[in-house]
Amino acid sequence: MEQSIDLKEKIILQFFKKFGAVLILVSILVGLASSVAYLELKTPVYQSSGQLVQNDNNGNLLNSYKQFIYSSKFETLMKKKIQASSWQKYKENSNYTTELSFDSNSPFFTLKVSSSNAKYSIFLANTAMEVLMSNIGRYLSGANISIVSVAKESGRAVSKSHVGMIGMIVAMLVFILLSLFMFAKEMLVGKIKNSYFIEEYYGIKNMGTISISKNKD
């Protein structure tokens, strides 16, 4: 049993010694290609943001602002603004996400909006800040907000960790499948390539060769 296990290990080690570099290189290249393809084929998402500040430094209200922008009331107010704008006929005008972020020890906070259209994201970010400033006082006493910077540009939002994970998973799958295919092809298919094949993979010394010829009548 021990000899059998040693023999199997030697065959596997010899295989990866011979083909390991090629398998790794091909897997990495395919993984990188899949990451690039994912970025090209995936519908782009553009994010635009503006910065605001709570004027009296009362940072405790920022969590309440966050709850408000996730509410149905805020969504309704945004919809009215969109319908009254030049974007009312835009087919994807309801497909966007809004996010509010802030540091715990700062009165400043950022309002971000993401959509599949760069210019629309800028419009939405500025509109969201306007809606927040104009309406939050009706529902929350003590709200005192000013805009620090308006949204002027938008950038493509890309999750590097997500793209990297896709490339890594594809590379691993390619490595496993290609290894199995090449191992089966090398060990189970075809003829012994030369007189050193048995010695190379099985560790059996080459004692010589025997020529076999067929007698012709």
**pLDDT confidence tier of residue 1, bands split at 50, 70 and 90:** very low
Residue range 190-211, pLDDT digits in tens: 555 555 555 555 555 555 555 5
Residue 98's DSSP bridge partners are 113
Percent with pLDDT over 70 in the chain = 80
Percent with pLDDT over 90 in the chain = 36
Residue range 123-176, pLDDT digits in tens: 999 999 999 999 988 888 778 889 999 988 777 766 677 778 888 999 999 999
At residue 102, does pLDDT exceed 60?
yes
pTM for this model (two decimals) = 0.60
At residue 95, does pLDDT exceed 80?
yes
Residue range 69-79, pLDDT digits in tens: 999 999 999 99
